[in-house]
Structure 1
Amino acid sequence: MPLGAVECTYDLLVVGGGINGAGIARDAAGRGLSVLLVEKEDLAQHTSSASTKLIHGGLRYLEYGEFRLVREALIERERLLSMAPHIIWPLSFVLPQVNSLRPAWLVRLGLFLYDHLGGRKVLPATRTIPQLDRDPCGNGLKSGAKAFVYSDCWVEDSRLVVLNAMDAEARGARIRTRTRLVSAERADGLWTAKISDAQGEHKVRARALVNAAGPWVADVIARVPDGRSDRGVRLIKGSHIVVPRLYEGDHAFLLQNPDKRVVFAIPYQGEFTLVGTTDEAWNEAPGAAAISAAETRYLLDTVARYFTRPVGEGDLVWSYAGIRPLYDDRASSASAVTRDYVLDLDAEDGRAPMLNIFGGKITTYRKLAEHALEKLAPLLSPKSGAWTAAATLPGGDMPDADFERFAAALIADRPNLPVALLRRLARAYGTRVTTLLEDAHDLEGLGHHFGGDLYAAEVDYLARHEWARTGRDVLFRRSKLGLKLDNSVESALDDHLAEWS
């Protein structure tokens, strides 16, 4: 294509391949709009793969009066569970009433509201444990205090992003990873954007632009000559640690600290416990983040406060940190900043519209996308209206959303493949696992063995269908196999994936 030529014209150009960008691209494509999504790195490379991995209403947000947000999140919780039962599943949370500055009656009142605000239908209601030292849920804890048990859901966060991008593509959207927005300007009622990838720079046109760049939302606004917004973003770093398993059981803990913050301890990948998160102001430019020494100590101190098993820095299996792009509501502390979202539409005087996304959380991404399209619909005239509330995500179309029944049928159908491998693949890919396995009925049919239970058939599937281009894409975003495999596997995967780059 000649330098300066316009590659194509789309209805919508979405900048950012995190959960909000992928969700908006999916919703728009399903309404019949032509969509291009560009992501400068990998899908979910930053904030959307650095969460606490929960689909939840946000129990602690009730303390800040965020009733609308909590209600919306609680409604979405069960909706998402039915859309993707392979990567989202129920999880019980034990809330010990120890080290708490909140009286038990106040906690129970909050949980009563939590049970009823969102019209709960599937998840069980809150129950009380009079003494944890007389209940299996108290295993591994120092205190046998009274506790409450409530329910939320677990999610494989980066896979949720990928599934939305896959569904967007299946509905006609074009997804371009490793593609950066260089600049964008309005002319004659359209956007002309310059984008850059490994092959060089290209120009595309679009009727509307969605800025879903997360921590880089202000940076994208700055790339537009007349870009403006009276909204602001506040960057907060949240960090997590992964340690050897602290307790037996499939339940999680919500731990109350003396500073009124809460920390989760969650079963992780079978062998570990995930502990987090922190809230620390991020005053640098957006970019890759790492846990600080102070955050590590804070989380280890929380573990020591509650659990009998001693854990030190030498026991850390992994840590990760992400920068949350929260809407700046001028709250005095990082913990108090709203997790609600704001959609700021710049479309005055008939100019090509630009929608800037501020804030948000994984649980409400689908509703955020729906609201974004409601704002854009009068300007773009899509062929159809809202549709995502009852639509499953790729791999989620299993009978009655029953994962255990689906997994059992898969295991029965492939008796010569290891049960543990089939269960992991069923969890990651749902009904799409048959596309991955194709005719393979034994390990030899899965191709080259990279280590553990990772074979070429899965890697090639990820490259072909899920935009995986590096070993890290495979080991830490499409899966968490990197926690269990030797470091040399990453370079072997880089070599294997080189042909896809």
Structure 2
Amino acid sequence: MSQDWNAAWRQQTLPTLADETWDLIVIGGGISGAGILREAARRGWRCLLLEQRDFAWGTSSRSSKMVHGGLRYIAKGQWRLTRDSVRERQRLLDEAPGLVEPMSFMMPHYRGGFPGPRVLGGLLSVYDALAGRRSHRFHDAQQLRYLAPGVKESDLLGGTSFVDALTDDARLVMRVLSEARADGAVVVNGVRVEHLLRENGRVCGVQIEDCEAGATLQLRCCMLAVATGAWAERLRPTEAPRQLRPLRGSHLLLPGWRLPVAQAFTFLHERDRRPVFVFPWEGATVVGTTDLDHREDLDHSASISGEELDYLLAACTQQFPGAEVTANDVLSTWSGVRPVVGSAAGNLQDQPSNETREHVLWQEPGCVTLAGGKLTTFRPQAIEVLKACADMLERPFVDDAAPVFAAVPALAIAELSNQQWRRLAGRHGRNLLRLAQLIKNIGHETVGATYTLWAELAFACEAEMVLHLDDLLLRRTRLGLLLPHGGEDYFTAIRQICQPRLGWSDAYWQQEIQRYRALWQRHHGLPDATP
């Protein structure tokens, strides 16, 4: 695996991609595509991943950050989905500590409310049985007031706690891609697939355009896997039925001190009885999510609407009335589009929340498309895709359930706490040794009040394929979400560390700053209609 995975490497590598016929080309650099690539690479397949914008640019950096089994899927009878999810959740907790971490969830109960303690306790008993361990417990009203100061107390009966997990979704994608690259995979961003190549009724490759330089190439492959999420239908034959229903989920990020919570709270919104979450993440507090049909152009980043902002602020007022959270308290927002497969062939009369989160495979000779699915189950979804590819190639294929992540080297630097090292090991995996050297050279200081080290910015610029400033501040790190105004007050210090490592001229740096400001204001600030 090349140590310098950056723009210079990309410029040298792109023209050589047409020199061979790939066993597998994967289109899409989110968690689904990364998972497929990782499983193919470790089996010795010569494989290439192409991402049009940036890794995790779409849904995989804008999720609710939860690695969970999906408690509500039990009530819908989706047993297999829940079973696979809780098993993969435990696998990720075991394999990627520091990146995927357990989190206590609490659902408060109120007199006359649904679900009550007995109903929820029954569902959680099934949930625990599928996971193979008991994790839920009921707390009476007095205990809950102690565990959750500020929670709405009127008619409070108590609360039920259970355990799921949280992650940094964009870093999860980068860690999986790192594992694939270590096994020989080639990974490139900023490359658009213009169309598929077909010979004798079979997909045999792709025509691509370098979005940075404009050059085009034709690449050949034995198999193609399409994992482009909400965009999955774009490369399908024109006669194929349209089945995807893009659903938008939006979130608010508040300073941790403004709405301090020590665990995740889940409750039903008074307006539509949908589940809403308030939980701690990266030292801040997340409020989410909505679930609406996304009718805007998928080529543009999704943005929170004024209606969604009001909905999430109302959720804060409902559950934490004394906090008096307003729009002025919001640090940032994000919105993602879920790639949900519609249950009624485009029937939008059904409520979005009623749609299944099951995935499907669409197949044609030489090509397998993954549609739908969940972040938590990216590994078994990848196995299904590769099994379908192997069947077309008449190759043997077995799911050996090998670890997704390699063991992380044991290191220690005196200035960093064990918790800091756990976090860095989870996010950077195999690259921890190189990051450790940067920490020794640059120091162990964090950026503002965040958990992110300045050395992590330096490492991302040197070896994590940063092409634009938003790649660095919104996905390699989450500083654009966690710092006020997208990090505006830190631009000078960021420039000192990052510009030389990125090789950007002064003019290009200013161009990127202007681009980032406009992007942040439109897609991560408050809606324009909000004063």
Global fold match (TM > 0.5): yes
Deviation at 1:32? 1.6
The 1:6/1:414 distance shift into structure 2, 3 A limit, reads closer
Paired with 2:483 and 2:419, the residues of 1 have a C-alpha distance of 14
Secondary structure of 2:82 counterpart: helix
Alignment map for 1:123-202 (pairs within 5 Å): 124-132=134-142, 135-143=145-153, 144-188=156-200, 191-197=204-210, 198-199=212-213, 200-202=215-217
Alignment map for 1:457-496 (pairs within 5 Å): 457-482=455-480, 483-484=482-483, 486-487=487-488, 489=490, 492=495, 495-496=499-500
Alignment map for 1:385-424 (pairs within 5 Å): 385-387=398-400, 389-393=401-405, 397=408, 410=411, 413-416=412-415
* Superimposed CA distance per residue, residues 279-313 of structure 1 (whole angstroms, 9 cap, x where no aligned partner): 01012331311111111111111110111211001
Partner of 2:107 in structure 1? Answer: 95
Partner of 2:353 in structure 1? Answer: 335
Deviation at 1:50? 0.6
Secondary structure of 2:21 counterpart: strand
| Corresponding residue to 1:9 among 18, 21, 26 | 21
Letter in 1 for 2:246: L
8 Å CA contact 1:10, 1:206 repeated in 2: yes
8 Å CA contact 1:88, 1:154 repeated in 2: yes
Aligned pair count? 471
Paired with 1:321 and 1:273, the residues of 2 have a C-alpha distance of 16
* Superimposed CA distance per residue, residues 473-497 of structure 1 (whole angstroms, 9 cap, x where no aligned partner): 2222122223237315457277345
Paired with 1:414 and 1:266, the residues of 2 have a C-alpha distance of 30
Deviation at 1:218? 1.3
8 Å CA contact 2:144, 2:158 repeated in 1: no
Paired with 1:75 and 1:450, the residues of 2 have a C-alpha distance of 35
Secondary structure of 2:280 counterpart: strand
The 1:298/1:17 distance shift into structure 2, 3 A limit, reads same
Paired with 1:423 and 1:439, the residues of 2 have a C-alpha distance of 17
* Superimposed CA distance per residue, residues 310-340 of structure 1 (whole angstroms, 9 cap, x where no aligned partner): 1001111111001111011127110111111
Alignment map for 1:415-454 (pairs within 5 Å): 415-416=414-415, 425-430=424-429, 432-438=431-437, 440-441=439-440, 445-446=441-442, 451-452=447-448
| Corresponding residue to 1:298 among 307, 311, 319 | 311
The 1:420/1:449 distance shift into structure 2, 3 A limit, reads same
Paired with 1:447 and 1:82, the residues of 2 have a C-alpha distance of 30
Partner of 2:336 in structure 1? Answer: 322
The 1:147/1:179 distance shift into structure 2, 3 A limit, reads same
Paired with 2:192 and 2:290, the residues of 1 have a C-alpha distance of 30
Paired with 2:371 and 2:123, the residues of 1 have a C-alpha distance of 27
* Superimposed CA distance per residue, residues 206-261 of structure 1 (whole angstroms, 9 cap, x where no aligned partner): 1111111111111122xxxx565446111000000011335555311111223220
8 Å CA contact 2:181, 2:187 repeated in 1: yes
The 1:161/1:62 distance shift into structure 2, 3 A limit, reads same
Whether 2:218 is the aligned partner of 1:203: answer: yes
8 Å CA contact 2:331, 2:483 repeated in 1: no
The 1:465/1:135 distance shift into structure 2, 3 A limit, reads same
Letter in 1 for 2:326: G
TM score, norm. by length of structure 2 = 0.81
| Corresponding residue to 1:244 among 245, 255, 270 | 255
* Superimposed CA distance per residue, residues 10-31 of structure 1 (whole angstroms, 9 cap, x where no aligned partner): 0111111111011001111112
Letter in 1 for 2:472: V
**Unaligned stretches of 5+ residues in structure 2:** 1-11, 509-531
8 Å CA contact 2:457, 2:472 repeated in 1: yes
Whether 2:234 is the aligned partner of 1:219: answer: yes
The 1:229/1:210 distance shift into structure 2, 3 A limit, reads farther
Partner of 1:359 in structure 2? Answer: 372
Secondary structure of 1:343 counterpart: strand
The 1:447/1:288 distance shift into structure 2, 3 A limit, reads same
**Unaligned stretches of 5+ residues in structure 1:** 348-352, 399-405
Deviation at 1:185? 1.9
Paired with 1:29 and 1:385, the residues of 2 have a C-alpha distance of 14
Secondary structure of 1:180 counterpart: strand
8 Å CA contact 2:100, 2:166 repeated in 1: yes
* Superimposed CA distance per residue, residues 157-211 of structure 1 (whole angstroms, 9 cap, x where no aligned partner): 1111111111111111111101110111211555131111134111100111111
TM score, norm. by length of structure 1 = 0.86
8 Å CA contact 1:437, 1:446 repeated in 2: no
Paired with 2:17 and 2:228, the residues of 1 have a C-alpha distance of 26
The 1:194/1:265 distance shift into structure 2, 3 A limit, reads same
Paired with 1:420 and 1:5, the residues of 2 have a C-alpha distance of 41
Paired with 2:50 and 2:17, the residues of 1 have a C-alpha distance of 18
Percent sequence identity is 31
Paired with 1:227 and 1:13, the residues of 2 have a C-alpha distance of 21
Paired with 2:18 and 2:427, the residues of 1 have a C-alpha distance of 38
Secondary structure of 2:63 counterpart: coil
Partner of 2:522 in structure 1? Answer: none
8 Å CA contact 1:343, 1:355 repeated in 2: yes
RMSD, aligned CA? 2.9
Paired with 2:87 and 2:456, the residues of 1 have a C-alpha distance of 34
Partner of 1:401 in structure 2? Answer: none
Secondary structure of 1:146 counterpart: strand
Paired with 1:455 and 1:255, the residues of 2 have a C-alpha distance of 34
8 Å CA contact 2:107, 2:161 repeated in 1: yes
Secondary structure of 1:31 counterpart: coil
